[in-house]
Chain A
Amino acid sequence: MSFPMSKSTIIRLAWLPLCLLLVACHTDMYDQPRYSANQPSDFFEDGRSMRPPPPNTVAMGTFDPNSAMFSGRLEGDLVAELPMELTAELLAHGQTRYNAFCAPCHGLTGAGNGVAAYRGGMQVPTLHDERLRTAPIGYYFDVITNGVNRMYSYAHRIPPEDRWAIAAYTRALQLSQYTVAEALHAEELAELP
């Protein structure tokens, strides 16, 4: 391009900054015509974009809602055996879930003295009495899934696998508060008061 530029060249180039300005003004990619999680909707009658499953929805395929894994029961009876392998990882995972979801009421040790119980003046049963120590492990799964008394169902917050992890950890908590002295190692025995 020779200097000085002809008038027509200048006029042609003058569009460039204007173009840059104009293309920068589009925001339609910021808010695309689709829903984000929890976004309100004016399309659906109840105002929700996250749709609950229609009534009477049934699972397809191999999923069996009546299996021990998903119901905590076998032919109506609470299961007494953990329907998965008991590992140290499962117990550690159960501890994180218990501390997050259960400890606010049941307390970190299961004594029923969690902060929500304290603030609400609630009598939360201890996990360390005879009734709960002897309850089958399926009972814990059932209570987490369906709730009991004043306790709400936690089924929509805790997946079934994690509910079993919590049930297994509950057993570990119970063992920690109720062990016969003869079952301890010598060095553990020495630490007893």
Chain B
Amino acid sequence: MSAQIFPRNANVIFMLSLIGLTLMSIGIIAALIGIYLSPWYTEVGDAKAQPIPFSHKHHVDELKIDCLYCHSTVEQAAHAGFPSTDTCMSCHSQIWTNSPLLEPARVSLQTGEPIVWNRIYDLPDFVFFNHSIHVAKGIGCASCHAGTDQQHLTAKAQALWMGWCLGCHRNPEEHIRPRDEIFNMAYNPLSLPLSERLALVAEYQIATDGRLTNCYACHR
């Protein structure tokens, strides 16, 4: 009589392993999705070190300097415009002139070597975002950069998921604001009744025929 190859509980162990494997794969997938959505991966709220510890909180919220002062091409160009050393020094040639924190700006002005800042947002190259059209069509800075005016060191305010972009492209009336509130970081678009927001969408001539959700609107 030959010995049995499998012990008596082999069937149970096999079934339990199958269940375990299934649960483990679900767990791994869930964990991967969790990592994908987490600030650890998206870098939302994760302030980057910069050559000069520039504070939006100080300049925007406390000193009330307009966004345009530094991001001066936001109304004309795809890129909001990163301030040159010259822009920093138009005040800091007079203010905080001995601050060691500003040494890189003074060196840059003297030598003409640009300050190399660390990029906060890096869209994939197949996405074409244009600041000027959003500002021209009544979308404010705070719609994407909410809370930047309260940050001591700049961090991402949004993960820039495609679904998040589409949310606004499907329902622009949720985010539209009057022209004179574009640069107001504290303005709440929902403070206007829906009817007035829809009127604004019409006034800005925002396409509501589905063109805004074409792949081609952003992917070229």
Contact = CB atoms under 8 A, between A and B. Distances in A.
Interface of A: 29-32, 34, 36-38, 40, 46-48, 96-97, 99-101, 103-105, 115-116, 119-120, 122, 150-152, 154, 156-159
Contact of A156 (B84, B89, B124): B84
Interface string B64-100: 1111110010001011001010110111011100000
A129 to B, nearest CB: 21
Contact of B93 (A46, A100, A152, A156): A152
Nearest to B83: A157
B125 interface: yes
B63 A104 contact: yes
B125 A32 contact: yes
A104 B87 contact: no
Contacts of A38: 79, 82, 119
SS class, residues of chain B in contact with chain A: loop
Contacts of B67: 100
SS class, residues of chain A in contact with chain B: loop
A101 B69 contact: yes
A156 B183 CA distance: 21
Interface of B: 63-69, 72, 76, 78-79, 82, 84, 86-87, 89-91, 93-95, 112-114, 116, 119, 124-126, 180, 183
A34 B125 CA distance: 9
Nearest to B91: A116
Contact of B95 (A29, A32, A120, A158): A120
A119 B95 contact: yes
Given A101-B69, A116-B95, A30 B126 contact: yes
A59 to B, nearest CB: 18
